[in-house]
Structure 1
């Protein structure tokens, strides 16, 4: 494809749309791959895929392969789902929750998310879904953004406690956060400090991208 080849020289935008939630959604060929961006940040593939791949590698691909059910809060273009299915060869159930139906249309059209048979996509608010779900999960990936903003509820103790109750023994939470200033650093440290250290083991991974910090929480056996 000619656009893919030229994208190694210069990014080639192939889709752009105004979005109520993300201001602008763009699909671009960049360095030979399709990426999904909002107005100010990468939403799927590109740097975001590298970040979440790094988190999954830290948990351990062998452990991921043994999991029965993975929950992804914040699907966007579905890059972490593609990493699970195409790269790690994960064969079991994935539930993806995305509030923006326009985003799912783009994910299906450009990134063929609807061809992944083990994926159940739910159009819902992450907070509402977490309150309603009766399932238990081996891994919960939290990747919820509106452009560069992260909703406050993600860091509230009520939400983190609820997320933790949805984990099976030895299950993991992989939480992608954005750090733009010292207030965000303080927010992340507070979040970690409120996790019950008797029941859970938590850590922040060294950053591989300037503004993203991954938090990993493991439910002890």
Structure 2
């Protein structure tokens, strides 16, 4: 408890891990909250939890409560899963996909994700998972970063079309992106243009300065 109290005055690091995939990972008490950070950005809790909480609020907590299944691509420390369970009160099936087993170990050890009964975590590449899964989902959350970099496949037609196929009618995609420069803004504009009249696409710029959220509803 002393470290938690001290963190209101300065961050207190309690765990460091070097991962082949995520590189440098740190678990830190910051302003009384336990957070997971990579070398240059927040990976879970902290600002990232605020960002995705806003996205869930845009969709609507009461609407999400009536969904049957949620897919989270990019678990990290599991802050959006905690928001779904603790705040949205979502009690049905959550599938989390995380490529980095070291991150999953941290999520279980420090953030107790393995104690969430309606959660199944799959250690797999998100691209590979969406190719293989035979399930469909009412909400698909995409939150995939390698530090401050977003993999190119997230914006390619094949991945977009496959995710759209996995989404049930009247379901939502919540996509968290990072916009650091003009190139990223053009990338996001091109992404938005890939959805036709069968989808309702909303873009929320400058969420926590550098993040831009998409909510995408499948209409038919």
Question: For 2:187, what is the secondary structure of its paired residue?
Answer: helix
Would you say the 8 A contact 2:202–2:216 is kept in 1? yes
Deviation at 1:31, TM superposition (A): 0.4
Question: For 1:77, what is the secondary structure of its paired residue?
Answer: coil
Q: Equivalent residue for 1:203?
A: 202
Deviation at 1:210, TM superposition (A): 1.0
Q: Equivalent residue for 2:211?
A: 212
Q: Which runs of 4+ in 1 moved over 3 A?
A: none
Question: For 1:205, what is the secondary structure of its paired residue?
Answer: strand
Q: Equivalent residue for 1:75?
A: 75
Give the aligned length. 220
Question: For 2:206, what is the secondary structure of its paired residue?
Answer: coil
Q: Which runs of 5+ in 1 are unaligned?
A: none
- Which whole-Å CA distance do the structure 2 matches of 1:88 and 1:191 have between them? 28
Normalised by the length of structure 2, the TM-score is 0.99
Q: Equivalent residue for 1:2?
A: 2
Q: Equivalent residue for 2:98?
A: 98
Instruction: Summarize the alignment of residues 160-179 of structure 1 with structure 2, pairs less than 5 Å apart.
Output: 160-179=160-179
Instruction: Summarize the alignment of residues 116-195 of structure 1 with structure 2, pairs less than 5 Å apart.
Output: 116-195=116-195
Deviation at 1:208, TM superposition (A): 2.4
Deviation at 1:7, TM superposition (A): 0.5
Q: Equivalent residue for 2:51?
A: 51
Aligned CA-pair RMSD: 0.7
- Which whole-Å CA distance do the structure 2 matches of 1:160 and 1:203 have between them? 16
- Which whole-Å CA distance do the structure 2 matches of 1:21 and 1:184 have between them? 23
- Which whole-Å CA distance do the structure 1 matches of 2:194 and 2:88 have between them? 32
Would you say the 8 A contact 2:205–2:211 is kept in 1? no
Q: Equivalent residue for 1:30?
A: 30
- Which whole-Å CA distance do the structure 2 matches of 1:166 and 1:36 have between them? 29
Would you say the 8 A contact 2:53–2:80 is kept in 1? yes
- Which whole-Å CA distance do the structure 1 matches of 2:123 and 2:44 have between them? 17
Deviation at 1:21, TM superposition (A): 1.5
Provide, for residues 66-113 of structure 1, a one-character-per-residue CA deviation record: whole Å limited to 9, x for no partner: 000000000000000000001111100000000000000000000000
Provide, for residues 154-186 of structure 1, a one-character-per-residue CA deviation record: whole Å limited to 9, x for no partner: 000111111001111100000000111100000
